[in-house]
Structure 1
Amino acid sequence: MAGIKALVGLSFTGAIGLTFLLLSCALDQYGVYWPFFVLIFYVLCPIPHFIAKRVSDDGDSGSNVYRELAYFLTSGIVVSAFGLPMVLAHVSVIQWGACGLVLAGNTVIFLTILGFFLVFGGGDDFSWEQW
């Protein structure tokens, strides 16, 4: 039952993050849909972790090359997701208010993705693989 509550909570926070992103595009004073390109980063973020988990051995070594590379690539994706709206606002493609809403949405979405991996990524009897 705790897993279901965690899944519902993560779904709720994900919906809040996507609401911030949608507001940055759909409000009348902003009116452009360039911030939706951040969705690409949301999709790309967990992919290095999944590949590293699939390729690496299941040993409990302190450091794993694949895991470290996945952390590096994931951090690059996350930094790019925060940088894109700032660059778009700097060149006046979007307004700074829309940039703030995208950054708030990014924070909520990436914390939701992190929470998903913390809750369902462990090797105990309840993991994300059964979903």
Structure 2
Amino acid sequence: MCFLLSLCQLVGLAFAAAVGVTFLVLGCALPQYNNWWPLFVLFFYVLSPVPTTIGRRLANSFESSSALIELCTFFTTGIVVSAIGLPIVLAHVNVIQWGACVLVLVGNVVVFLTILGYFYVFSNDDFDYNMW
């Protein structure tokens, strides 16, 4: 039963990520926007879980407070803020239109909430880095 619940949660997270990336692609590919610069946000999607994963790997306990955990949280926050700021800056300097900016921001919110949901759902997983 636990495996089935975990599988359903994973499928739900994959669906949410697909919806977020769809908003991003719509912000780029719709005929009235037709500008692919917002696709650079994908780099932030890939980079955002890296500090948290490193922090979980190297820290003894992710629930306790340590300098490493705080530094990883700081870097993750910087990556998320940069991903939100990039389309706003691109729209401000008229590289993309504001409608595309809104679609990219909606995609950002959905994707980052999905990444947060992944860490929340699988935080109590039986897999432990200490086995390595």
Q: By the TM > 0.5 criterion, same fold?
A: yes
TM superposition shift of 1:128? 9.2
> Are the aligned partners of 2:55 and 2:72 in contact in 1 as well (CA < 8 Å)?
yes
2:108 matched residue in structure 1: 106
Gaps in structure 2 of 5+ consecutive residues: none
Task: Name the SS of the counterpart of 2:84 in structure 1.
Answer: helix
1:50 aligns with 2:90: no
Counterparts of 1:4 and 1:38 in 2: how far apart (Å)? 28
* Equivalent AA in structure 2 for residue 107 of structure 1: V
Give % identity.
57
Matching residue within 4, 7, 20 for 1:4: 7
> Does residue 83 of structure 1 match 2:85?
yes
Residues 91 and 98 in structure 2, CA contact (< 8 A), matched pair in contact too? yes
Q: What is the CA–CA distance in structure 1 between the aligned matches of 2:108 and 2:128, rounded to whole Å?
A: 22
**TM-score when scaled to structure 1?**
0.90
CA 1:128–1:104 in 2, change beyond 3 Å: closer, same or farther?
Answer: farther
Q: Letter of the 1:25 partner, please give it.
A: C
Question: How many residues are treated as equivalent by the alignment?
Answer: 126
Q: Write the distance in 1 (CA, Å) between the matches of 2:128 and 2:29.
A: 33
Residues 73, 28 of structure 1: alpha-carbon distance in 2 compared, 3 angstrom cutoff: same
Match of 2:69 in 1: 67
Q: Which one of 111, 117, 120 corresponds to residue 118 of structure 1?
A: 120
Shift of 1:59: 7.9
Stretch deviating more after TM superposition (85-94 or 64-73)? 64-73
2:44 maps to 1:41:
yes
Encode CA deviations 1:84-118: one digit per residue, 9 max, x unaligned: 00000000000000000000000000000000000
**Is this contact kept in 2: 1:121–1:128, CA < 8 A?**
no
